[in-house]
Structure 1
Amino acid sequence: MRGIVFQGNCKVDVLNFDDPVPEYGEAVIEMKASGMCGTDLHYYRHGMAESLSMLGMRGRMESEQVIGGHEPCGVVAAVGPGVDPTTFRVGDRVMVFHYAGCSCCDHCRTGWTQLCDRGARIYGVLSHGGHANYMKVPVSSLVHLPQEVSFKGGAAIACGTGTAYGALLRLDISARDTLAVYGLGPVGLSTAQLAAAMGIEVIGIDINPSRVERSKAFGVTHGIDASKVDPVEEIHKLTGGKGVSCAVECAGGELPRAQAIRSTKVWGRVVLVAVGGNLTIDAMKDLIGKQRTLIGSFTFSEVGMKDCARFIADRGVEVDKLFTEEWRLEQAGEAYAHFNQQTSGKGVVVF
């Protein structure tokens, strides 16, 4: 089979690998769609090893040439011994939860495998991911894909859209809330789209005017171009001087993180999603004195991934609208060079 490998310095290779064979409790997935995530750009620009250090991730890569892609979706092509056919069988449509852990600690047992006490194995980072014809994983990492959701939609749920759903759950948000979403890339758009489907009024903020305009098709009621105006002031104008009740930060910069906090009213709730970077605030003025709650949200649980897919299927959320480009495996260099410009929407490798 063939697979995409991030080499750093904005270079990717498409290399040959042996076709995987499932062992006990494992399945081989024939890829149908593998999403391109913003986190991939760390690996694209800096290589795997350096990126792991930068992002504070622990664990050892299983080889020097690890296949990238941590938003995998496809069809079960083969199962190994010990797999109960009533759970997964050849032909099943599945998403891959892109972490594997010890399966025994409390975090793994409750579906939060990325928090495994012994360290999680991350597919597409430490172990081979979905940017290949086939992918081998334990069946415990598989989640059934509803028939109403496309393979591309499943790839989005496998990381970016699932992360947005997880952040909204952490906020314990409802239709009584108003929400500011900072950063209108794929995760921010997913946050807006899912929140709108929950009946929540959404304000979207970005420094890219085209992204602000596009966000209106994803349920954003008020779009704010933060390159031209102070978003905190604008949000207070829109909310009668009070601020929103909730904010999600998907931009990744120190400034938008602080702005997200300051956009909320007294007793406001803020969740930080973007990976990497820092936050500098006045603890008394920005948090304690306003009774605000600040939350960190790292992707989602395996159960949350299943619930997200079901929510999208039941509500008819058009998650496929996130994708603006489709690429073939052999177009890896062109695909990531284009993605690295950060001027378009979400890309996906299709098979």
Structure 2
Amino acid sequence: MPSTVKGVIARGKGDPVELVDIVIPDPGPGEAVVAIQACGVCHTDLHYREGGINDDFPFLLGHEAAGVVEAVGEGVTEVESGDFVVLNWRAVCGECRACHKGQPQYCFATHNATQKMTLTDGTELTPALGIGAFAEKTLVAAGQCTKVAQADPAAVGLLGCGVMAGFGAAVNTGGIQRGESIAVFGCGGVGNAAIAGARVVGATTIIAVDVDDRKLSWAKEFGATHTINSREEDPVEKIRELTGGFGADVVVEAVGRPETYEQAFYARDLAGRVVLVGVPTPDLEVTLPLIEIFGRGGALKSSWYGDCLPNRDFPMLVELYRQGRLDLEKFVSERIDLDAVEGAFAKMHEGTVLRSVVVL
């Protein structure tokens, strides 16, 4: 039987979110219903509310989530009822050209549940990133469920988006290695996850760059060995000073602005790697001298979801957390109820939290 549960929706562009009754259908073939235990409040959810993704309102918000599988549909073998899972927004197809090349982390045909969740009047909801986890239950494609060892859902649920994006930008995309140097521009949740990833793999010089001393203080807690307030000093010159005059081996740009991307470009060593993980708006452009792109060698990369493969990366990161080597709980600034999402958006704007996490 379909379930009626509470969920947080954005009904129109810029409107305050609402806590309403929503209907969750029984899982069909290839689908799963998950009872949500915790879900982080991510900036992407705010983008949905503001119409920055598309205009397919009403949206069922929330996507950084962990919970327990309640039921599965026909043909599902990945998970079963009772499994503790972290949700992801890239259920790989196994059939596209990326999957056939043995690179499923780049799958070009990821998918979501086929059926729609609705309001009680039948209005179809668009789930944020195909998940919609600001709800007591949600319906997803079974491939969006990654079984992991039991752990604090408020902490490990953050692997579903921001933490994985930042960790993967440094480790998967940037290929940071032990003994190397890394600079990270932007020390919110994604940037600090990149810093934490660099520390886990053994980077010896980890430089955090931001305009907010509070965020730089957070960066130190995650493993930054040096901090730079770019309002007060030139980050390119300072990064070179901290790296023997050469620049960093890897530079992660977690802001998504032309100004910071240009700084990241000039702050890398010869043959260094620049990784863009900050999400720019469509109108932004960057101009760089072509001779500098050629002359510096190395690589300019973009990192989408940290180039992750959830069934490979999520269990590994949960195990690092359980071993005390990756402190996911540091990302959890506060635990809130389902009716406090609008207030969490305000705190996000103010920059006073890394992550508010809804706990059900």
Pair in the same fold by TM > 0.5: yes
Alignment of 1:336 with 2:341, yes or no, is: no
Cα deviations by residue, 1:273-318 (Å, 9 ceiling, x for unpaired) = 0112434232335421211310011114562563244144135211
Which TM-score applies when normalising by structure 1? Answer: 0.87
The number of residue pairs the alignment matches comes to 334
Mapped contact 2:168–2:308 kept (Cα < 8 A): no
Aligned with residue 215 of structure 1, among 201, 208, 219 = 219
Alignment of 1:139 with 2:142, yes or no, is: yes
> Residues 35 and 12 of structure 1: is their aligned pair in 2 closer, same or farther, counting only changes over 3 Å?
same
Aligned with residue 29 of structure 2, among 24, 27, 33 = 24
| Corresponding residue of 2:83 | 92
Q: How does 1:164-183 map to 2 (within 5 A)?
A: 164-167=166-169, 168-183=171-186
Shift of residue 169, structure 1, vs aligned partner: 0.9
Mapped contact 1:158–1:305 kept (Cα < 8 A): no
Which segments of 5 or more consecutive residues in structure 1 lack a partner in the other structure? Answer: 54-59
Equivalent pairs: percent with the same residue?
A: 29
| Whole-angstrom distance in 1 between the partners of 2:38 and 2:107 | 22
Q: How does 1:97-246 map to 2 (within 5 A)?
A: 97-100=88-91, 104-107=95-98, 110-112=103-105, 115-116=108-109, 120-121=111-112, 124-125=127-128, 127-147=130-150, 149-167=151-169, 168-200=171-203, 201-246=205-250
| Whole-angstrom distance in 2 between the partners of 1:305 and 1:259 | 35
Which segments of 5 or more consecutive residues in structure 2 lack a partner in the other structure? Answer: 114-125
Q: Name which of structure 1's ranges 333-342 and 94-103 shifts more when overlaid on structure 2.
A: 94-103
Mapped contact 2:24–2:139 kept (Cα < 8 A): no
Aligned with residue 70 of structure 2, among 74, 77, 87 = 77
Which TM-score applies when normalising by structure 2? Answer: 0.85
| Corresponding residue of 2:116 | none
Mapped contact 2:88–2:310 kept (Cα < 8 A): no
Q: Name which of structure 1's ranges 296-305 and 313-322 shifts more when overlaid on structure 2.
A: 296-305
| Corresponding residue of 2:120 | none
Kindly provide the amino acid, as one letter, of the partner of residue 338 in structure 1: K
CA RMSD of aligned residues (A): 2.3
Q: Name which of structure 1's ranges 19-28 and 282-291 shifts more when overlaid on structure 2.
A: 282-291
Kindly provide the amino acid, as one letter, of the partner of residue 153 in structure 1: A
> Residues 308 and 195 of structure 1: is their aligned pair in 2 closer, same or farther, counting only changes over 3 Å?
farther
Q: How does 1:272-291 map to 2 (within 5 A)?
A: 272-277=276-281, 278-291=284-297
Mapped contact 1:324–1:345 kept (Cα < 8 A): yes
Alignment of 1:264 with 2:255, yes or no, is: no
SS of equivalent to 1:270: strand
| Whole-angstrom distance in 1 between the partners of 2:201 and 2:285 | 29
Mapped contact 2:93–2:107 kept (Cα < 8 A): no
